[in-house]
Amino acid sequence: MAEDRNVAWREELRKSLSNKERTALTRVKMNELEPAYRARVREEVNQGLTKEQALQESKRCLDCPNPTCTQGCPVGINIPGFIKNIERGEVLEAAKVLKETSALPAVCGRVCPQEKQCESQCIYKQKLKKEAVAIGYLERFAADYERESGQISVPEITCKNGIKVAVVGSGPAGLSFAGDMAKKGYSVTVFEALHEIGGVLKYGIPEFRLPNRIVDVEIDNLRKMGVDFVKDCIIGKTLSVEDLEKDGFKGIFVASGAGLPRFMNIPGENFIGIMSSNEYLTRVNLMDASNPEYDTPIYKGKRVAVIGGGNTAMDSVRTALRLGAERAMIVYRRSEDEMPARLEEVKHAKEEGVEFMTLHNPIEYFGDEKGRVTKMRLQKMQLGEPDASGRRSPVEIPGAVVDVDVDEVIVSVGVSPNPLVPNSVSGLNVSPKGTIVVNEGMQSSIPMIFAGGDIVRGGATVILAMGDGRAAAKAMDEYLKK
Amino acid sequence: MNKIVSKENFSENVIKLEVEAPLIAKSRKAGHFVIVRVDEKGERIPLTIAAADVEKGTITLVVQKIGVTSIKLCSLNVGDEILDLVGPLGRATHIDKFGTVVCAGGGVGVAPLLPIVEAMKKAGNRVITILAARTKDLIILEEQMRKFSDEVIIMTDDGSSGRKGLVTNGIEEVAAREKVDCCVTIGPAIMMKFVSLLTKKLEIPTVASLNTIMVDGTGMCGACRVTVGGKTKFVCVDGPEFDAHQVDFDEMLMRLGAYKEEEKADMYKVGK
């Protein structure tokens, strides 16, 4: 990275504007659809930056000699490198820089919590006490620009080495791993249990935040790099690890995700109309259930409560609005400060009319004679001492309960690792929580099996999963070349 | 992929399909199920595997026309392909030498019971199979069952075949004359509920294979959850078979009706 900072055009670019002029510029605002309109449609809320906005924002980046932003990126994107390419007007070059380390730039530009990663390490934030360079918006801009230009570059593939590796799961960890291994010359096959490639990017994250066609373009790009995809195939069920070995696969990367949704185990939780966010979002996103032409049914609640305060909860509650909810509520047991969701998601949800019932926790559900949920009983909470997560813990206020009418409840209180693969591979070291135990090189107790993403972490973000994919690719490459 | 190689009408509403699925045929065991999606706009539904032929690379599914998806599936012909077929899913049946095993099936539940009957027999059990249906025409797989059963008892609601009565009458009759060590039941939820109530009274350990609503079938959605022994379980990964005496069948019956209205409203798609 340091070398390319010294290329002539970059030195010139730095001189073209003084740091004082650069820091005097204000951070660009994302173009968004109007809340009243967007809350009833599936269109993407964030509309991206115009070329003019992106050029202007790229000027804010000081092209630091020791850029701290890159240290905040789990996949190590050359951030100043791509931003300076935007500034000099070479947006396609910028996209190429992104693809050197990220298999999914258009996805990351949309769903990464940049404010907690690269942007939190930006010199503007660290030293100047100003708003960070909008790295995420610029990343999205470069990726979108390339896609819309029709001149999509395919990363260079080093000479094919003929070694076969398998990937279990086609979510962000698996795709990131597949991209890196293909670049290194391996023959990569990705096995996916569902009928669509993309994992959580398809079944989980809604269209209004990450359109499926964006994900498909990134997957196509991997296909062009020679990655094979096999749908409807469950490793550990349809094919065993032994089958893969017999088939000549020398390494396996397990990225099967955090499948199992958690419930709260409170009375009435199995009434009809109460479901996990995984079920709700899968019906809507993967199965297109709200489209009458599709066969999968969905219940379109009028008074919908979503339990939880994470990004998945925000996705669910905003989906409920789009399916016609008159009242869409977030019920969260702590206060807004402790919410794990991205600030942007909370802001968007509020703008769209979502009610936030913080410091409330459901303790019981009631149903009608058909078993359909009609009411939830909430325990009011207050904040106590910090708990193991470092956040102030929710404590019940004795006797303070309130009943709220609901006709649909989406439980979004976390997920557990998918047990299918861990259960079916003998000799695999699995933690009591069900996650696969790996070393720093993402290698499991079985040397040929590596693992990453939520099956190792138990529930994290797209970008951390992608970082695992990269780390595993590096380590598996070293292992296989020994 | 997933080509239909043979099709047989068991009755007007029950169809047997033999589908090309070599990997599933090889890896499946008694009790496993598959998830099927018929076409691009289709939903994912679970179907228990009725048989498999490893050499031919096929599995057999028995489907009853109930809703949009099952009607679409039954309208496929030999040579057509099922868009998506994934499996084998769920835990296999616990096969052991129990002694005397009663296998009690009703409706299309008889189909997934067949591989269990076969496996139980091969494990050295005395197998008494009870097949129940509303009427004679709806009794399926009788011949195949006889191959692996020491005795087959047919029960029909109207007495048009075998004896008049319910599957529970058959179980009572067997239990009255000999010691039964284990019972396996597959059929409509309401039937399994009454089998379970009876065998609990008779103190016969009983396994029921549950057919709940599923979306992904791999543990991801939780649509299939049931209460077993006071705890929430997922049929797709914890089941589909459970200790019947621990299953809350009333809750299961309630949850099976979750999308009744939506499903009814969709029937226009298949001309109903």
Rounded alpha-carbon distances, angstroms, from residue A256 to A168, A477, B185: 6, 20, 33
CB A281 within 8 A of CB A319: yes
Report which secondary-structure segment, H or E, holds B84: strand B84-89
- The span from the CA of B98 to the CA of B124, in Å, is 8
- The span from the CA of B16 to the CA of B7, in Å, is 6
Average pLDDT (A223-232) is 95
A33 CA to chain B: closest CA distance, Å?
29
Q: How confident is the model at residue A3 (pLDDT cuts 50, 70, 90)?
A: low
- The span from the CA of B182 to the CA of B164, in Å, is 24
- Within 8 A of A272 by CB-CB distance, chain B residues are 254-255, 257-258
Instruction: Provide DSSP, A244-310.
Output: HHHTTEEEEEE-----EEP----TTTTSBTEEEHHHHHIIIIIS-TTSTTS-S-----SEEEEE--S
User: Which residues of A touch chain B, with CB atoms under 8 Å apart?
Assistant: 193-195, 203, 231-234, 237-240, 259-261, 263, 265, 269-270, 272-273, 275-276, 278-279, 282-283, 287-288, 293-299, 370-371, 418-420
- The span from the CA of A317 to the CA of A208, in Å, is 12
Inter-chain contacts counted by CB atoms under 8 A, chains A and B: 122
Q: How confident is the model at residue A462 (pLDDT cuts 50, 70, 90)?
A: confident
Residues forming beta bridges with residue B242, ordered by sequence position: B208
- Within 8 A of B258 by CB-CB distance, chain A residues are 272-273, 299
SS3 B186: strand
SS3 A259: coil
- The span from the CA of A197 to the CA of A175, in Å, is 9
Contact flag B215-A283 (C-beta cutoff 8 Å):
yes
Contact flag A418-B219 (C-beta cutoff 8 Å):
yes
Q: Which of A229, A230, A295, A421 to mutate to test the interface with B (most CBs of B within 10 A)?
A: A295
Q: Which two three-digit tokens encode residue A354?
A: 């979502």
Residues 6+ apart with CB under 8 A from B30: B92, B93, B95, B115, B116, B118, B119
User: For A14-35, what is each residue's pLDDT tens digit?
Assistant: 999 999 999 999 999 999 999 9
CB B206 within 8 A of CB B185: yes
ipTM of the complex: 0.93
- The span from the CA of B251 to the CA of A371, in Å, is 8
Contact flag A295-B218 (C-beta cutoff 8 Å):
no
Contact flag A288-B41 (C-beta cutoff 8 Å):
yes
Q: How confident is the model at residue A417 (pLDDT cuts 50, 70, 90)?
A: confident
Q: Which two three-digit tokens encode residue B33?
A: 């199920």
Query: What predicted TM-score, i.e. pTM, was given to this entire model?
Result: 0.93
- Within 8 A of A193 by CB-CB distance, chain B residues are 86, 216, 218
Sign of the dihedral defined by the CA atoms of residues A65, A66, A72, A73, in that order: positive
**Closest Cβ opposite residue B84 in set A232, A279, A295:** A232
- The span from the CA of A88 to the CA of A85, in Å, is 5
Query: Mean pLDDT over all residues of chain A?
Result: 93
- A258, closest residue in chain B (CA to CA): B220
Contact flag A282-B24 (C-beta cutoff 8 Å):
no
Q: Which of B36, B221, B225, B272 to mutate to test the interface with A (most CBs of A within 10 A)?
A: B221
Q: Which of B43, B213, B218, B227 to mutate to test the interface with A (most CBs of A within 10 A)?
A: B218
CB A190 within 8 A of CB A227: yes
CB B57 within 8 A of CB B21: yes
pLDDT tens-digit profile, chain B (272 residues):
899 999 999 888 899 999 999 999 999 999 999 999 999 999 999 999 999 999 999 999 999 998 899 999 999 999 999 999 999 999 999 999 999 999 999 988 999 999 999 999 999 999 999 999 999 888 989 999 999 999 999 999 999 999 999 999 999 999 999 999 999 999 999 999 999 999 999 999 999 999 999 999 998 999 999 999 999 999 999 989 999 999 999 999 999 988 888 888 888 888 87
pLDDT at A150: 87
CB B221 within 8 A of CB B215: yes
Taking each continuous run of H as one helix and of E as one strand, the counts in chain B are 9, 16
Contact flag B86-A232 (C-beta cutoff 8 Å):
yes
CB A392 within 8 A of CB A338: yes
Distance in Å from the first CA to the final CA of chain A: 28
- B21, closest residue in chain A (CA to CA): A238
